[in-house]
Amino acid sequence: MTSSNPLWRMARRAARMNPSVIREILKVTEKPGIVSLAGGLPSPDTFPIEAMREATARVLQDAPREALQYAASEGYAPLREWVAEHLTAQGAQVDAAQVLITTGSQQGLDLVGKVLLDAGSSVAVEAPTYLGALQAFAPYEPDVITVPCDDDGPLPDGLHVARGARFLYALPNFQNPSGRCMSEPRRAALVSAAQALGLPLVEDNPYGELWYDAPPPPSLASRWREGTVYLGSFSKVLAPGLRLGYVVAPPVLAPKLLQAKQAADLHTPGFNQRVVHEVIRNGFLREHVPTIRARYKTHRDAMQAALVAHMPPGCRWNTPNGGMFFWVELPAGVDATALLPRAVEHGMAYVPGAPFFADHPKLNSLRLSFVTVAPDRIERGIAMLAAALKEIL
């Protein structure tokens, strides 16, 4: 690929880089009065501002020079140890040496792509899947394979289509965008099928702590340590602006991921790492995360009630048991992307579902986020969506 200016010749991979559909839609939601059910943002009302303020003061008092200096590429050792202990308590048996602190789990996806993907190699994904992962992998020019899925996630019997792929990327817990959570039997069967095929797994888990009624089953990584890369994040349980995530990799991969991290940004900001560790080291999340769950569950219930009350016949949706999203399928023949401008005219916004598919998109699908909007505005937004939809049916 070449640019229109002959002075600059762009790399071929640049042609695969595209703007985030979601972030483009978020520009629309900045209009005054729009009820935005589009953005996948945590509620700022859950941010532990006072705890952060106190932790920042302690870090600057106790270790100001260390906190403001360059730091180890692997990450702040006490924070890596906390991650290892936290995941081991959930059954994963993680050693701190396997933990790499990243600048958000989005960077973890980029590092995985950089280390594991070649141009023309295959990567397998769910349908639908996280749009940010497709964006992260695209510059490495893989061929993307979609594995068959149902409401419980990837079908183990369908993994044969991914034979020879470098890995299967999966979000078992309250997936973005579909909200689904893999059952215990499905996880066991999926790991067994992947092992039989020699298909490694990349497990992304930003939403696992946000369960409402019961915690999700143990991770895929806890069932196949040597065959799974695990990604986690502090964005949904503390604050996304800190840009703090982590990768847990099998020993054979950890050194190369570290080298890729060093080349990318040397290290994740050490100050942020120390502040987060100061906040969480004495069990803060045990009290804080349940308050997030209670708040989000109230909003989930409000959206469920509004969908039941307002959406016309022929619509189908899940009721998520955790996470931040409803996945809605409109009546057959309705294009959610084409419907969006009409919905905005009515005063609400959502994210069309088509961009979340690597191929064969469901044009009648859309994603709704419920955590940043008050319950009364959720009801208004769904009523507006239903009105726009009824006009074209």
Set out the domains of the chain in order of their start, with CATH numbers. 19-40+286-392 (3.90.1150.10), 50-282 (3.40.640.10)
What sign results for the dihedral spanned by CA atoms 256, 260, 265, 269? Answer: negative
Strand 143-146 with 122-125, pairing? parallel
CA dihedral (374, 375, 380, 386) positive or negative: positive
- Mapped onto helix, strand or coil, the DSSP state of residue 221 is coil
Phi, psi of 166 (to 5 degrees): -70, -35
User: Facing residues of 211 across strands?
Assistant: 322
Pinpoint the alpha helices (H) of the chain: 21-28, 49-62, 64-68, 77-89, 104-116, 131-137, 184-197, 254-265, 270-280, 284-310, 336-346, 375-392
Give the whole-angstrom CA distance, residue 92 versus residue 203: 12
Q: Answer whether residue 1 shows pLDDT above 60.
A: no
pLDDT band at 33 (very low <50, low <70, confident <90, very high): confident
How far apart are the C-alpha atoms of 35 and 261, rounded to whole Å? 39
Whether the pLDDT of residue 20 is over 80: the answer is no
How many other β-carbons are positioned within 10 Å of the β-carbon of residue 91?
13
Residue 2 has pLDDT above 50, yes or no: no
Lowest mean pLDDT among 11-20, 65-74, 177-186: 11-20
Tokens of 233: 């994040």
Q: Do the bridges between strand 149-150 and strand 35-36 make them parallel or antiparallel, or are there none, so unpaired?
A: unpaired
SS3 278: helix
* 18 — pLDDT class (breaks 50, 70, 90): confident
State which H helix or E strand residue 293 sits in: helix 284-310
Lowest mean pLDDT among 13-17, 192-196, 233-237, 261-265: 13-17
Write down the mean pLDDT value for the chain: 95
Q: Output the CA–CA distances (angstroms, integers) from residue 198 to 122, 282, 389, in the order listed.
A: 14, 40, 45
- Picking from 352, 355, 323, 357, the residue whose alpha carbon sits closest to that of residue 172 is 323
Residue 169 near residue 133, CB atoms below 8 Å: yes
| CA atoms within 13 A of residue 248's CA, in its CB half-sphere | 31
Say how far apart CA 326 and CA 38 lie, in whole Å: 11
Give the pair of three-digit tokens for residue 258.
């570290």
Q: What is the pTM of this model?
A: 0.94
For the residues 378-385, what does the mean pLDDT come to?
98
Mean pLDDT along residues 263-273:
97
